[in-house]
């Protein structure tokens, strides 16, 4: 990632232009604070509908409502200043027709100020991708394992394990690229297939469980932080945040029960005032210290 112009937010064409130049780095992000951290290192942040499973306890992404995507999308746009923010269109908000897709995508863009949307599906979504891009909505495509189709696929299964399946997946990639997608996510597919697709199309491929031959990589942030209780085979845990959180909560609980927290430094002193003296209105001369809650 270049830090040449840190004040400028990346746009969809900037991501496309990275193909063959530098690896594209991205993560999912669902809230403002982690978005602000990831923003320093990522080219784009995806407000993925995986937030339904990661943050809200759904078993699949299918029940996620548009309003939830918009709410988390606003938070991420507020937190990230430089990375392109891409928001997932959830199941049922774009498949019916190009005009329904446009209405919902335009709502997402207007309400969140994000820079692009992502939709799942290959050639079946090509007409919709063309319709959206033609009307000012940058689209990231998503092929291979498409979790919104879990009930048709029959599970979170890797795609293209048999070479006989490759032609259809390659055709999906070609068609979404021709339709005007600025990049395409390749989820859970064999490494040689993803590398073949990457070499064959003009837009960047963003791999998740698709090996090192892609133009960029994405992971679900909570998975790579070590916060998710179960992760797919393709995830590398770069942190142990789940264990750190548990350690902190255990320490807090122990101290409350032992009566050692709060200590005197965590309490407010009574102000000394002469009888009858009223304090003048409080003037803030520097940034006030916010007591931690
Ligand atoms: O919803 C999501 O997090 C995604 C990624 C897996 C690419 O679509």
CA atoms within 13 A on the CB side of 150: 11
* pLDDT confidence bin for 280, thresholds 50/70/90: low
Q: For residue 272, what pLDDT is reported?
A: 87
Q: For residue 283, what pLDDT is reported?
A: 52
Q: For residue 288, what pLDDT is reported?
A: 55
Residue in 288, 156, 76, 82 with CA at minimum distance from that of residue 68 = 76
pTM passes above 0.85: yes
Q: For residue 155, what pLDDT is reported?
A: 87
> How much is the average pLDDT of 198-208?
98
Between the CA of 165 and the centroid of ligand 1 the distance, in Å, is 22
Residue 272: both structure tokens together = 């000394």
**Cβ atoms of 150 and 156 closer than 8 Å:** yes
Q: For residue 1, what pLDDT is reported?
A: 54
* pLDDT confidence bin for 207, thresholds 50/70/90: very high
> How much is the average pLDDT of 55-81?
97
Q: Which residues contact 186 (CB under 8 A, 6 or more apart)?
A: 143, 144, 173, 194, 197, 205, 206, 207, 208, 210, 214
Whose Cα sits closest to atom 3 in ligand 1?
48
C-alpha to C-alpha distance for 49 and 85, rounded to whole angstroms: 13
Residue in 218, 187, 184, 236 with CA at minimum distance from that of residue 38 = 218
> Would you list the domain boundaries of the chain?
12-240
Q: For residue 286, what pLDDT is reported?
A: 56
Distance of CA 276 to the CA centre of its chain: 57
> How much is the average pLDDT of 255-261?
98
Topology, domain 12-240: TIM Barrel (3.20.20)
Ligand 1, CB cutoff 6 Å, lining residues:
28, 46, 48-50, 88, 142, 185, 187, 208, 218, 220
Bridge partner list, 208: 187
Between the CA of 176 and the centroid of ligand 1 the distance, in Å, is 17
Q: Which residue has the higher pLDDT, 269 or 275?
A: 269
Max CA separation in the chain (angstroms): 89
């Amino acid at each position: 990632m270049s830090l040449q112009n840190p004040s400028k937010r990346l746009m969809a064409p900037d991501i496309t232009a990275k193909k063959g130049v530098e690896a594209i780095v991205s993560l999912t992000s669902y809230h403002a604070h982690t978005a602000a951290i990831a923003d320093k290192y990522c080219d784009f942040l995806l407000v993925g509908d995986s937030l339904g499973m990661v943050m809200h306890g759904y078993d699949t992404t299918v029940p996620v409502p548009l309003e939830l995507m918009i709410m988390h999308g606003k938070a991420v746009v507020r937190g990230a200043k430089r990375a392109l923010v891409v928001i997932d269109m959830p199941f049922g908000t774009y498949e019916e027709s190009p005009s329904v897709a446009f209405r919902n995508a335009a709502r997402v863009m207007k309400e969140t100020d994000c820079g692009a949307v992502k939709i799942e599906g290959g050639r079946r979504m090509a007409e919709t991708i063309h319709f959206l891009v033609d009307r000012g909505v940058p689209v990231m495509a998503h092929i291979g394992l498409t979790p919104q189709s879990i009930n048709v696929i029959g599970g979170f299964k890797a795609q293209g394990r048999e070479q006989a399946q490759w032609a259809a997946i390659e055709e999906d990639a070609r068609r979404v690229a021709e339709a005007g997608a600025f990049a395409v996510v390749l989820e859970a597919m064999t490494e040689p297939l993803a590398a073949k697709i990457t070499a064959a199309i003009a837009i960047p491929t963003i791999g998740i469980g698709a090996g090192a031959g892609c133009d960029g990589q994405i992971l679900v942030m909570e998975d790579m932080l070590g916060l998710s209780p179960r992760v797919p085979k393709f995830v590398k845990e770069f942190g142990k945040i789940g264990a750190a959180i548990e350690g902190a909560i255990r320490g807090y609980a122990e101290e409350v029960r032992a009566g050692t927290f709060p200590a005197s430094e965590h309490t407010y002193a009574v102000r000394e005032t002469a009888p009858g003296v009223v304090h003048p209105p409080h003037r803030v001369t520097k940034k006030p210290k916010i007591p931690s809650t």
